[in-house]
């Protein structure tokens, strides 16, 4: 469980995140959404102590995250960041093996148990056949699967992802988020695509100019009124096979929104 209470984060003399709160319970997938520059990635980095808040508190299973030592934090929180190198000269198996580092002493050799954890993690994400491939030769979707496998090998029960669907084609976007939702771990994910957020997140927190302007279920947050206010775009919510999806049109084209909803 991850709880953030009144968290404010700044660079220099400017606050980028202003009194934002979040609660992600066991097995939940909480999405951070909002326009570019709204503070989503900054807030996410605060959740895993890469940034220290100027005010407020982030708590991991009852403990302040800033009080956890590096190794202990790494055992409990796995991160897939935007800046993950994509051209490392290592095999897929070795990339996933890095997730076992928090479970061994410095300079200690990897054990049979570590290699078994790697094989199990790759199998779980459907990438066992990639184990011997150079990581740098994989497609974008394959690389993201491998990075999630690394977090599984890490055996952390909290997963934080920063825009994991960037540069993926639509099939891999859906496959990746569906897989993340099936892991059963506490997950917080930054997403730009609101339809992906609506479909795969159990709860959403919407940021605007560093402030949380809405939180709750996708149906509660992704309302026409809120999206018009924050994004300046008309939206018609529709249900497709029981899933909330959004039909968009520009704010100066209300007639198109109506015709799009009808179609």
- Which tens digit of pLDDT belongs to each residue from 112-159? 999 999 999 898 888 899 999 999 999 877 888 888 888 888 888 899
**What confidence category does residue 254 fall into, taking pLDDT thresholds of 50, 70 and 90?**
low
Cβ within 8 Å of residue 263, ≥6 positions away: none
**What confidence category does residue 71 fall into, taking pLDDT thresholds of 50, 70 and 90?**
confident
Burial 221-235 (b: 16+ CB within 10 A, else e): bbeeebbeebbebbb
* Distance (Å, whole) CA 227 – CA 92: 40
pLDDT at position 160, please? 95
SS3 of residue 208 by DSSP: strand
* Distance (Å, whole) CA 163 – CA 48: 16
pLDDT at position 108, please? 77
What does DSSP say about strands 233-240 and 211-216: parallel, antiparallel, or unpaired?
unpaired
Q: DSSP state, 164? A: T
CATH class name, domain 2-222: alpha beta
- Enumerate the domain spans of the chain: 2-222, 223-263
The arithmetic mean of pLDDT across residues 161-181, rounded, is 87
Instruction: For residue 187, give Cα distances in angstroms to 24, 131, 216.
Output: 7, 25, 15
Cβ atoms of 202 and 9 within 8 Å: the answer is no
Cβ within 8 Å of residue 224, ≥6 positions away: 234, 235, 236, 237
Instruction: Answer whether residue 171 shows pLDDT above 80.
Output: yes
pLDDT in tens, 180-211: 898 889 999 999 999 999 999 999 999 999 99
Largest Cα separation within the chain, whole Å, is 66
Taking all residues of the chain, what is their mean pLDDT, rounded to a whole number? Answer: 88
**What confidence category does residue 260 fall into, taking pLDDT thresholds of 50, 70 and 90?**
very low
């Amino acid at each position: 469980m991850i709880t953030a209470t009144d968290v404010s984060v700044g660079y220099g003399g400017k606050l980028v995140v202003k009194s934002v709160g979040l609660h992600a319970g066991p097995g939940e997938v909480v999405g951070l959404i909002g326009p570019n520059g709204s503070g989503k990635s900054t807030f996410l980095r605060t959740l895993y102590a890469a940034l220290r808040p100027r005010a407020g508190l982030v708590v991991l299973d009852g403990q302040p995250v800033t009080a956890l030592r590096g190794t202990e934090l790494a055992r409990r929180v796995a991160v897939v960041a935007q800046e993950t190198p994509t051209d490392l000269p290592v095999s897929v198996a070795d990339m996933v093996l890095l997730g076992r580092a928090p479970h061994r002493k410095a300079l200690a050799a990897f054990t049979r148990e570590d290699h078994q954890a790697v094989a199990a993690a790759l199998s779980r994400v459907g990438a066992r056949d990639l184990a011997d491939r150079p990581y740098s030769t994989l497609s974008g979707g394959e690389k993201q699967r491998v990075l999630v496998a690394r977090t599984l090998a890490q055996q952390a029960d909290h997963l934080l992802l920063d825009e994991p669907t960037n540069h993926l084609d639509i099939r891999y976007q859906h496959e990746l988020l569906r897989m993340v939702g099936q892991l059963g771990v506490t997950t917080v994910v930054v997403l730009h695509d609101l339809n992906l957020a609506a479909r795969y997140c159990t709860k959403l927190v919407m940021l605007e100019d560093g402030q949380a302007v809405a939180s709750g279920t996708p149906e509660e947050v992704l309302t026409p009124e809120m999206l018009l206010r924050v994004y300046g775009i008309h939206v018609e919510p529709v249900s497709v096979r029981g899933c909330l999806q959004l039909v968009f049109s520009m704010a100066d084209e209300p007639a198109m929104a109506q015709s799009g909803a009808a179609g």
